[in-house]
Structure formats: C-alpha cells, structure tokens
Structure 1
Amino acid sequence: MTAYLLKRLLIGLATLVVASLVVFGVLEILPGDPARLMLGFEATEDAIQALRVEMGLDQPLLWRYLDWVGGLLTLDFGRSYTYSVPVIDLVSERVVVSLPLALIALTLSTAIAIPVGVFSASRRGRPADTISMGAAQVGVAVPNFWFALLLIYVFAVWLRLVPAGGFPGWSAGAWPALKALMLPAVALALPQAAILARVTRSALLEVLGEDYIRTARAKGMPRRTVLWRHALRNAMIPVLTILGLQFAFLLAGTIIIENVFYLPGLGRLVFQAITQRDLIVVESVVMLLVASVIVVNLLVDLSYALVDPRLRVNR
C-alpha cells in the first residue's frame, strides 16, 4: 500500500509539472500583447513598455516560468494587474463560493443517482427501468445552462422562493447563503446525477451476474441485503471513478453556471481574467484547479482499496 501511495504521489507531481508547462505555454502563445490590450490601443509606447516591465514580460520565457512556479510553491500567486491586489486574496474570496457550491452539487448528485441506479438495476427490463433510464438520458442531453435558466424562471420568477442570482456572503448568515447556492447546485447536480445513475446501473448489473451473488441468493439471503450490502459495494469502483471526475468538473466547470447566476466564484473570476487578459490570475487559478483535480483523483484511487479488500491484497 505504501509503494502504491508513493507511486501515485510521483505520478501526481509529474502531472502537475506537465500541466504547469501546458498552462504557461498556451497563455504565452496567445496572440496580442497583454500590456497593450490592458491599456488600450491609444496608449503610448512608453506606458506600454512600463507595464510590460512591471508584468515581467521583458524577462526571458524560462525565467518567467520558474518565477511563476516558485511563487506557486510558496503560495505567492503574484498580483493581479486588473484588481491591483494579490491573487491569493481574490482566490480566498471566491473559493468560499465555488467550493461549497461544488460540494452541495456533488452531494445532491450522489443522493439522487445511486438510489435511481440501484432501483433501475433491480428492475431490469421492466417499465420502471425504462422510465428511469429514459429520464437519465434526457438529463444527460439537456445543457446545464438551459436547465439553470428554467430553474430561475420557475423558482425565482414564478414562485419567488429563492433569489434569481447574486450571493449575499456568508456574513449574512448560513441560510441566506445556502439559499442563494441552491438553484445553481441543482442546475449542476441533475445532469451529473443522470450520468452517475447510468454508470451505477451498468456496474450493478455486471456484479449481479457474478457467481457469489447467485450463491447468496441460493442460500436464502434477503434480496435487499444482497443488493445493497454485497452487490452495490462491489460495483462501487466505477462509481467512485465517476464521482472523482464529477467533483473535478463541478469545481472547475462552473464558469457558465456562475455567470448565469452572477455568483462571485472562481469560475467567474477566470472568465473575467480571460476577457481582461490578466494572465497571472488565469495561470494561478487554473493551476489551483488542476492541483485540486489531481488531489481528488488520488483520494479516489485510495478509496478503491477501502471499498474492495481484494485490491488491498493485490497491492
């Protein structure tokens, strides 16, 4: 187990290095001068050159990369040229919106998907299976931003149960903040729940055909016990894999939803930084999201051994 953990850590570190090279390289080859775009095309050459020096754009490419990576290792993400504040302050303000939003959406997605997947697998070929998987297929096909607009119309405009957008901040109280995050979380969760339900059904159907399941049924074990205690646990490997990928998507892929609901999260920060060519903000936030994805995937890999004891023996 220790060797496996070390191997996964080395793979994660290598992935971080490669990702940092890709992120830095892609932003560097984008057309246009960031200093000229930030000051406008009517700015003087002296002002543009002064901003280039301030941004470090006059330094060699390798030196700028090493300086940026060194700052990341010390949690010094640099200073935003647009907001004139440290990037770490911007991230700290926005992560308290994006992280709870992703966690709530993941919780809702899991709470919906696993029971639906188990219900559908236990009634394979019946009308209930067809209806539940048909609804899941619709959930996969519907774009989350369209679903978000529909939720706003129904629950905010028509029923007036929740606000249509904005975030009051956690200082206003837990309930107003959670109320503002509820519609965005549902808009993010339902499409992911549809995917997870289909994966759960497929994995569970594969396990239900195994010999030890038939043996348990032949011994007279209750159907519910066989389904939830034995079959579901052994079907959790692909489910956990999708859960890890979904959390990464929910954390890093909230740009559209946060803009629809006007939430001051990391997704909206990245969108604004891209439009303003604030490269240091884009690079730092993207690398932070990449690191979070790698950490989540590492935790998912470790959870495999907790779910399936056979993997602990093999490792």
Structure 2
Amino acid sequence: MLRYTLKRLLSLAISLIVASLLIFSIIEVAPGDVASFMMGMNAQPDTVAALRAELGLDQTKVARYFSWIGGMVTGDFGTSYTYRAPVAQMVADRLWVSLPLAVYALLLSILIAFPAGIFAAARRGRAADVTVMGATQLGVAIPGFWFAMMLVLLFAIRLRWFPAGGFPGWDESIWLSLKALTLPAIALSLPQAAILTRVMRSSLLDMLGEDFMRTARAKGLSARQALWRHGIRNALIPVLTIIGMQFAVLLTGAIIIEQVFYLPGLGRLIFQAITQRDLIVVESVVMLLVFTVIMLNFVIDLAYAAIDPRLRLRT
C-alpha cells in the first residue's frame, strides 16, 4: 500500500505542476493589458507604467510564475487587482456558498440515483426499466440553465415556495440560506443524478451475473435478498468513484447556475474576475479548483485500492 501511495503522490505532484504551467500560460497569453484596462483608454503611459509596477506586472513571466506558485504553497493567493483585497479571503467568503451548494446537489443526486438505479436493475427489460432509462436520457439532455429558469418560473414566481435568487448569508438565517440554495441544487443535481443512475444500474447488472450471486441464490437466498446483501455492496465500488468525480464537477462547474440565481459563489467570482481582467483572481481560483479535483481523485484512488487489493498488487 505504501508503494502504491507514493506512486500516486508522485503522479499528483506532476499533475499539479503541469496544471499550474498551463493555467498561467493560457491566462498570460490572453489579449489586453490589465493596467491599461483598469486606468481606462485615456490614461497616460507613465501612469499605466506606475500601476504595472505597483501590481508587479513589470516583472518577467518566469518571476511572476514562481512568485504566484510560491504564494499558493504558503496560502498567499495574492491581492486582487480590482478590489485590492486578499484573494484568499475572497475565496473563503465565496466558498461558504459554493461548497454547501455542491454538497447539497450531490446529496440530492445520490438520493435520486441510488433508488432509481436499483429499481431499474431489479426490473431489467421491463417497462419500469425502460421508463427510468428514458428519464435519465432526458436528464442528461436538458440544458442546466434552461432547467434552472423553469424552476424559477414554477417554484419562485408562480408558487413562491423558494426565492428566485440571491443569498441571505448563513449568519442571517440557516433556513433561508438553505431555501436559497434549494433550486440551484436541484438544477445542478439533475444531470448528475441521471448519470449516476445509469452507472448504478450498469454496475448492479454486472454484479447480478457474477458467480457469487448465483452461489448466494443456490444457498437459498431469494433474488431480493441476494441483491441487497451481496449485489449492491459490490456494485458500489465503481459508483463511489463516480460520486467523487461528480462532487468535483459540482464544485467547479456551477458558474452558469450561480449566474442564473445570482449566488455569490466561486463561479460568479471567476466570471466577474474575467470580465474585469483580474488575472490573479482567475489564476488562483482556477488553480485551487484544479487542486481540489486532483486531490479528490487521489483520495478516490486510495479508497479504491483499500477496497480492492488487486489494484495494489498491480503496481
């Protein structure tokens, strides 16, 4: 297990280095000058040059890259060009919106997908199975932003059960904050629940054809008992991998949904930083999200190896 972990740690470090180089390079080649954008079209050249020096933009790209990475390692994400506030504090403030939203959406996805996947697998080839699979295809195909707007029209404007947008803050009211996150969480969870349902069904059907399931039936267990005692437990291994990946997707991919519901999360922060040419915010937030995704995959790999010893033996 130690050798397997060390190899995964090396892979993680290489992935982070490559990701940081790609993020910095892509953002640096973007057209436009931050200082000129901030000062306006009629700014004097010496004023623009002074601002570039103040922001550290007059340094070489190599020096700026190592300065940025060094700060990230020590927890200093830099200072926002636009708001002149620490990026780390801006991220922390918005993480209290994006992180609960991702967890909320993931829980809804699991609550929908597990029963639906098990129900479809237990009725393979029947009308119920076809209905569930058709619903999952629809869930994947529906655009998230359109579904979000339909939710607003029905539950916020017509029924007035939930707010149409905004976020009151956890200090203001936990209940009102949860209500504000409910419609965005439903909009985010729909496609993820559809994918997870299909994975759960497929994994469970694979387990039903295994020898140990036939042995369980031969020992006198009913089809339902064999399904719940042996099939579901073994089918969860690949499903847990998908759940970990889905959490990363929910945390990093909520930009459009946060825009629709006007939520002050990380997605909205990235969108505002791009429009304002606040490159240090874009670089730091994207790198933080990439780090989160890679770390989640690392943890999933370790958990997967702990469950299935064959993975450790292959390394």
**TM-score greater than 0.5 by the shorter chain:** yes
Tell me, yes or no, if the aligned pair for 2:114 and 2:200 is still in contact at 8 Å.
Answer: yes
Q: Could you give the per-residue CA deviations for residues 18-51 of structure 1, whole angstroms, max 9, x where no partner exists? A: 1000000000111111211222222211121111
Tell me, yes or no, if the aligned pair for 1:252 and 1:289 is still in contact at 8 Å.
Answer: yes
1:186 — aligned with what? 186
1:202 — aligned with what? 202
2:268 — aligned with what? 268
Letter in 2 for 1:114: F
Letter in 2 for 1:243: I
Structure 1 range deviating more: 38-47 or 81-90: 38-47
Change (3 A) 1:4 1:239: same
Tell me, yes or no, if the aligned pair for 1:233 and 1:307 is still in contact at 8 Å.
Answer: no
Letter in 2 for 1:111: L
1:115 — aligned with what? 115
1:86 — aligned with what? 86
Tell me, yes or no, if the aligned pair for 1:236 and 1:307 is still in contact at 8 Å.
Answer: no
2:46 — aligned with what? 46
The Cα of 1:191 is off from its aligned counterpart by 1.0
Residues 1-315 of structure 1: pairs in structure 2 closer than 5 A: 1-308=1-308, 311=311
> C-alpha separation between the residues in 1 aligned to 2:309 and 2:205?
21
> C-alpha separation between the residues in 2 aligned to 1:285 and 1:124?
44
> C-alpha separation between the residues in 2 aligned to 1:229 and 1:62?
57
Q: 5+ residue gaps in structure 2?
A: none
Change (3 A) 1:274 1:243: same
> C-alpha separation between the residues in 1 aligned to 2:25 and 2:138?
38
Q: TM-score, normalised by structure 1?
A: 0.96
> C-alpha separation between the residues in 2 aligned to 1:305 and 1:228?
23
Change (3 A) 1:228 1:305: farther
SS in 2 for 1:162: coil
Letter in 2 for 1:9: L
> C-alpha separation between the residues in 1 aligned to 2:201 and 2:307?
18
Tell me, yes or no, if the aligned pair for 2:140 and 2:195 is still in contact at 8 Å.
Answer: yes
Q: TM-score, normalised by structure 2?
A: 0.96
Q: 5+ residue gaps in structure 1?
A: none
